[in-house]
Every structure is written in C-alpha cells, then in structure tokens.
C-alpha cells in the first residue's frame, strides 16, 4: 500500500474504523436493563481503554481481549489473526468480582464515580500470568516501574468480550480538542493533506520537540499534535498545564494552517518500545501516515535503551504496520551554531550542547527554577512558572 496517496486510502488498522458507541435505541435498551445487570467499576485506565475502543482509536479491537489475542500479543506482538499489536488491552477483576459473572451475560460498566458508562458482553474470563506480562511487555518485573505496578495491583482474572460506550460525552476539560478518529480523518481530507505526521507527548512541549516536529513538517503536509491526557504518573505535569503550553507554542511559533492540536484520551503505560508501536498504530487509526519516534519514547527511568523504541520497528516486516516511523535523534541546543540540532547536524562537542529532558525540567520546576531559553520558549517557560507558582523576574 502506498501511504502517500489520499487519506481515504490510509486504512485504519485491520481495515475498518471501529465504532462501539451506542445508537439511541441501544442506549435506551441498556438503560432499561441497567438496574438488573451485574456491575464492574472501571478504574481510570480501563475507562480510557473503553473510550478508545468505542471511538475506533484501538481498531480493530471491538472489546477487551480474549485469551486467544492476549497471549500472542504478550508473547509475539501480534493478534490471533496476525495483525501487529504490541500492548494487551484487558479488563482485569478480582476472583470475587469474577465469580458471579457467567459467560454470555451483559455486564454493566461504571466509571470510577459509579456512573453507568458502558456495557460488556462477557464471552470469556481467564486467569493470566502477571509476571510473564510484566517481563514481556515492560521488560522488567520491578514493581517500581509504574506500568508493572498497575499490572501487579489489578485483579487476577481478565474479562473478555465486545463493549459498548453508552454515549460519547465532551471531554470535561478540553472539549474543543476532542477530535475522535472519524473526525480527524475528515479534517485531514478537508485540508487536502495526503501525508500527516503524528506526535505523541505527555510532557510540556520544549524546543527539542519543536525542532523535530518542524523537521518532520518539512516533508509532510500536516502535523497532528496529539498529547495524551489520560492517566499518567503523579509527578507528570498536569494535562491542563501541558495543553496551555501547546496552545502558546502553536500561536507564536508554528504555521497554524499546517497543525491540528487534538487530545489523545488514552492512558500511559510507560512500556517504552512496545508503547511506541502501540502509539503508532493508534495514530494510524486517527488517519496519520507517519509517526515521530524520538529519544526514549514512552520510557520511564532507565528501563529502556535510548533508541530501543526506534529499533523495535525493525522487528516488523516493511509495510506491516501501515504507518511510517520517522526516527529522530536526541535534539539539543548547540551553542556553536546558536540553534537546535542533533549529533547528525551539530559540529560542537558535548561541552557546547544544552541537553535537558522532561524529567530534568520537572525537577527544575519543583526546585523553583525556570528552564533556560535554550530549552524552552520564554512564553512556555512563563506559563510553566505560573502553573507551578514560581516567581518570574521581569
């Protein structure tokens, strides 16, 4: 398949964009049954997964994974039908919660606040090996890894089956940026974009991000800036602060007609290389033809090598993923040239390179320090300072 053709030719993963949002008739039917259905209360990540399945972001998934998909995904990064898929999407409950549930029944899904949000048609319940999942998906069994900790803390039984989302509600904080896959595809088409590069971030946007985005934008028609606003680590910068930083940067430093800012409602797994594949496939479902993979994509701590998230793309056959990775080295500010660069373009030595990571910036902000202009645009630094209540010298 030639990805340079019209966006209509960029098939969703598996060929069909999934829609599991109830019709008015289905919703009325489920509401009638609501008080008589067994209930499972979803945590924030499971709620995000339900939404992503329903809107087609996780196409071709129509529900939480059965064992026949779960095992080859964990072991081989493929679904049972052979399609690439790198992260298990499962609904885990305790043995006590699973005991009264019978295969074939409808299960009411409530959000963390106890409100009725979806329905699961239970087709299977199965135990799974948490240690095996941790070692294969996260490459570690250490509980201090945030993704592994989630696996260890969740129930021992997976519930599988198709799901329905009762209704698609506007995002409580970013409704204007809630652009679901069907809508993003229509936007790309309306703009006449044939090639679109997606960018994933959970950090405030800094100049290294800006540099690689603009390098990518030189070779494609449009940039889909797609920050993740689902559940993240407690020490990550809050989503509302990050979104204001993106707005400020786009207003002052990007061509507005070539960028779309939209939220990704998924939760972070911090699975490094595996999550890079996962993020790419999700952006394919949103209509992107290309996906930026930078330094330590979706990593945490020192669990993954600097470019492991790029190397993993080589484990798939050419064209198998259906989206093209754009691999970038770690960008920095080069004092000798007075601009952003990478080791591929900078003539300077280490002493003339200003390297800062999202982690270092978070640490600086917590100490009451502003990131330097070589790292962050001044307008963005001022917004971070305001949000973190750091006094700014005028």
Burial classification of residue 152, based on how many CB atoms lie within 10 Å of its CB (0-12 exposed, 13-18 middle, 19 or more buried): middle
pLDDT score, position 391: 59
Structure tokens at 42: 């979803």
Structure tokens at 359: 């982690």
CB distance 253 to 225 below 8 Å = no
Burial classification of residue 380, based on how many CB atoms lie within 10 Å of its CB (0-12 exposed, 13-18 middle, 19 or more buried): buried
Q: Is the peptide bond before 239 cis (omega within 30 degrees of 0)?
A: no
pLDDT score, position 1: 35
Residue 295 falls in the annotated catalytic set:
no
Distance in angstroms (rounded) separating the CA atoms of residues 5 and 195: 8
Structure tokens at 125: 């319940």
Q: Could you tell me the residue ranges of all domains in the chain?
A: 22-165, 175-387
Kind of pairing between the strands at 324-327 and 290-293: parallel
pLDDT score, position 21: 98
3-state SS class at 91:
strand
User: Minimal CA–CA distance to 189: which of 289, 52, 291, 51?
Assistant: 289
Helix axis angle for 378-387 and 358-366, nearest 10°, is 50
User: Minimal CA–CA distance to 353: which of 208, 168, 246, 223?
Assistant: 208
Residue 367 falls in the annotated catalytic set:
no
User: Minimal CA–CA distance to 284: which of 321, 329, 234?
Assistant: 321
User: Which stretches within 103-238 are classed as H helix?
Assistant: 130-133, 146-153, 181-191, 207-217
Check if 22-165 and 175-387 are the same fold. no
User: Minimal CA–CA distance to 52: which of 42, 62, 43?
Assistant: 62
pLDDT score, position 8: 56
Choice among 20, 185, 203, 207 that is catalytic: 203
pLDDT score, position 239: 85
Q: What is the DSSP letter of 254?
A: S
Distance in angstroms (rounded) separating the CA atoms of residues 179 and 79: 27
Burial classification of residue 18, based on how many CB atoms lie within 10 Å of its CB (0-12 exposed, 13-18 middle, 19 or more buried): buried
Torsion of CA 212, 199, 293, 242, to 10 degrees: 80
CB distance 227 to 178 below 8 Å = no
State the CB neighbour count (10 A cutoff) for residue 283.
26
State the CB neighbour count (10 A cutoff) for residue 270.
22
CATH topology of domain 175-387: Rossmann fold (3.40.50)
Helix axis angle for 239-253 and 378-387, nearest 10°, is 160
CB distance 264 to 236 below 8 Å = no
Distance in angstroms (rounded) separating the CA atoms of residues 122 and 161: 5
Choice among 20, 45, 202, 269 that is catalytic: 202
CB distance 56 to 181 below 8 Å = yes
Torsion of CA 315, 89, 143, 329, to 10 degrees: 40
pLDDT score, position 4: 41
CATH dotted code for 22-165: 3.10.400.10
Distance in angstroms (rounded) separating the CA atoms of residues 356 and 372: 10
User: Strands, E, within the chain: which ranges?
Assistant: 39-41, 63-64, 91-93, 106-110, 116-121, 124-127, 157-165, 196-201, 222-227, 259-261, 290-293, 324-327, 332-334, 339-341, 353-354
Per-residue pLDDT 10s for the chain (394 aa) are 344 444 456 899 999 999 999 999 999 999 999 999 999 999 999 999 999 999 999 999 999 999 999 999 999 999 999 999 999 999 999 999 999 999 999 999 999 999 999 999 999 999 999 999 999 999 999 999 999 999 999 999 999 999 999 999 999 899 999 999 999 999 999 999 999 999 998 777 788 899 999 999 999 999 999 998 887 777 677 888 889 999 999 999 999 999 999 999 999 999 999 999 999 999 999 999 999 998 888 888 899 998 999 999 999 999 999 999 999 998 999 999 999 999 999 999 999 999 877 677 777 877 888 888 888 898 998 888 888 765 555 3
């Amino acid at each position: 398949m030639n990805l340079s053709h019209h966006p209509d030719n960029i098939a969703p993963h598996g060929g069909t964009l999934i829609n599991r949002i109830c019709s008015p008739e289905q919703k009325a039917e489920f509401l009638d049954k609501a008080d008589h259905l067994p209930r499972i209360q979803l945590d924030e990540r499971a709620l995000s997964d339900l939404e992503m399945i329903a809107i087609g972001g996780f196409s071709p998934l129509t529900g939480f994974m059965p064992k026949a998909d779960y095992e080859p995904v964990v072991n081989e990064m493929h679904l049972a039908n052979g399609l690439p898929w790198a992260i298990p999407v499962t609904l885990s409950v305790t043995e006590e919660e699973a005991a009264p549930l019978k295969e074939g029944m409808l299960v009411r899904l409530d959000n963390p606040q106890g409100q009725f949000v979806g329905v699961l048609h239970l087709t299977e319940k199965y135990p799974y090996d948490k240690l095996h999942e941790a070692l294969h998906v996260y490459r570690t069994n250490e509980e201090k890894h945030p993704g592994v900790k989630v696996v260890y803390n969740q129930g021992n039984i997976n519930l599988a089956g198709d799901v329905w989302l009762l209704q698609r509600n506007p995002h409580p904080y970013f409704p204007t940026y809630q652009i679901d896959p069907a809508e993003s595809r229509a936007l790309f088409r309306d703009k006449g974009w044939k090639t679109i590069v997606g960018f994933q971030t959970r950090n405030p946007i800094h100049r290294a991000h800006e540099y690689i985005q603009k390098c990518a934008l030189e070779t494609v028609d449009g940039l889909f800036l797609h920050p993740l606003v689902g559940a993240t680590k407690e020490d990550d910068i809050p989503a509302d602060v990050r979104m204001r930083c993106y707005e400020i940067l786009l207003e002052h430093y990007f061509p507005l007609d070539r960028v779309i800012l939209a939220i990704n409602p998924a939760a972070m797994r911090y699975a490094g290389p595996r999550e890079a594949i996962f993020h790419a496939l999700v952006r394919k479902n949103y209509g992107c033809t290309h996906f930026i993979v930078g330094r330590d994509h979706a990593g945490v701590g020192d669990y993954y090598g600097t470019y492991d998230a790029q190397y993993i793309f080589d484990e798939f056959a050419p064209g198998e993923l259906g989206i093209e990775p754009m691999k970038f080295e770690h960008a920095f500010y080069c004092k000798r040239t007075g601009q952003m660069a990478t080791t591929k373009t900078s003539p300077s030595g280490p002493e003339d390179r200003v390297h800062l990571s999202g982690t270092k910036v978070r640490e600086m902000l917590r100490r009451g320090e502003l990131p330097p202009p070589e790292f962050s645009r001044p307008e963005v630094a001022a917004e971070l300072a305001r949000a973190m209540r750091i006094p700014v010298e005028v």
